[in-house]
Amino acid sequence: MSQNINQLAESFCQFVQTTFKTTDFIPLHIPTLNGNEEAYVVDAIRSTFVSTVGQRVVDFEQQMATYLGVKHAVAMVNGTAALHIALLAVGVKPDSEVLTQPLSFVATTNAIHYCNAEPVFIDVDAASMSLCPKALASWLEQNAEIVDGKAINKHTQKPISACVPMHSFGFIGDIEGVIEVCQQYGIPVVEDAAESLGSTKNDQHAGTFASCGAISFNGNKIMTTGGGGMLVTNDDEIAQVARHLSTTAKVPHKWEYVHDVVGFNFRMPNLNAALGVAQLEQVPSFMRAKRELAKSYQAFFADTEITFITELPNTQVNYWLCTVKLADKTQRDAFLTVTNDSGIMTRPAWQLLNTLPAFKHCQAGPLPNATHLADCIVNIPSSVIV
């Protein structure tokens, strides 16, 4: 079996080299900067507004809100900061619990910890790799009760203050189901949409289903501002709180410096926003290119023992990182070895968050799907081909 996987991996390497038209090292994902990036950044430099006060920040927020079809977009220094502020804005308090999934990047749980709250890990759906509504409902039925209109963990007596599903690798699962379960317990939902800009379900964008969402514009995302992130919401109060907290909680005044609570210096600089405006102009073409690449991968892996993971019905995903699933960890590691030794960058899923030293003490429900996926899935080169 491993011999077959090795041969298939070697064929895959040749296919990738042909597809990307190079025999040099092929990374997992690199930014495409072929639009107005240089012109807009130079314009921002010449304006002398290079920090967090500048027209490009305003432009970027307005254009992103229009693209996503939401009322508010608040640009921040990175996606983790956006998620951190989102959690605070929906009311996450110290010594509370936040439900989330173990199959995610560590930033998800770091943001929860920054609020001095504790993550509780719930299993993912095997097909979407996102939080499973059935597993969520089961855990809540066994562990939660409503006291004075609020969800309480009846074992720890701590409030359950939020739920954070994550759209893994850009795929959208049953986000409506997650929200419906949480509504029964009065738990606000914050979407970790860090990887899913451009992905839609029934023509609605990822990050816009719940109370608010957080997006990342890190250098390896479908579009980049270098570093950067954004909180998006239709809720006026959440947007107001987010802007205030991320701008050092400064009370607006012509000259006085009054800060009414502890805030954060999280607003996006104008230089980064200039890059973002240029990148956002190209997102539709990026989407087309990445979906074409996904089609070619799907065709390559058809009728093989490796499964190329595709979007679910009624969704159109960005294929930020194209993903394949092997039978087990042994096959996964064989595939990883052959590809990386051949200069084709591939990587396994993140180590499950509940196994990391900082979070291994946290509560977790049964995690069969997350555990299996972590052992079997591999991300493959997914850059936009120009």
Average of per-residue pLDDT across 295-303: 97
Q: Which two tokens stand for residue 80?
A: 């983790």
Position 135 scores a pLDDT of 98
pTM: 0.96
Q: Does the structure show a pLDDT above 50 at 1?
A: no
Q: Kindly report, residue by residue over 98-131, the tens digit of the pLDDT.
A: 999 999 999 999 999 999 999 999 999 999 999 9
> Where along the chain do its domains lie?
2-30+283-354+362-379, 37-282
Residue 53 has pLDDT above 90, yes or no: no
CATH for 2-30+283-354+362-379 (3.90.1150.10, 3.40.1360.10, 3.50.50.60, 3.40.50.300): 3.90.1150.10
**Confidence category of residue 373, pLDDT binned at 50, 70, 90:** very high
Neighbour-count burial for 164-175, b at 16+ CB within 10 Å, e otherwise: bbbbbbbbbbbb
pLDDT in tens, 240-274: 999 999 999 999 999 999 999 999 999 999 999 99
pLDDT of residue 3: 59
Size of the chain, expressed as the number of residues it contains: 386
Percent of the chain topping pLDDT 70: 99
pLDDT band at 339 (very low <50, low <70, confident <90, very high): very high
Question: Is domain 37-282 given the CATH code 3.40.640.10 in the classification?
Answer: yes
pLDDT greater than 60 at residue 211:
yes
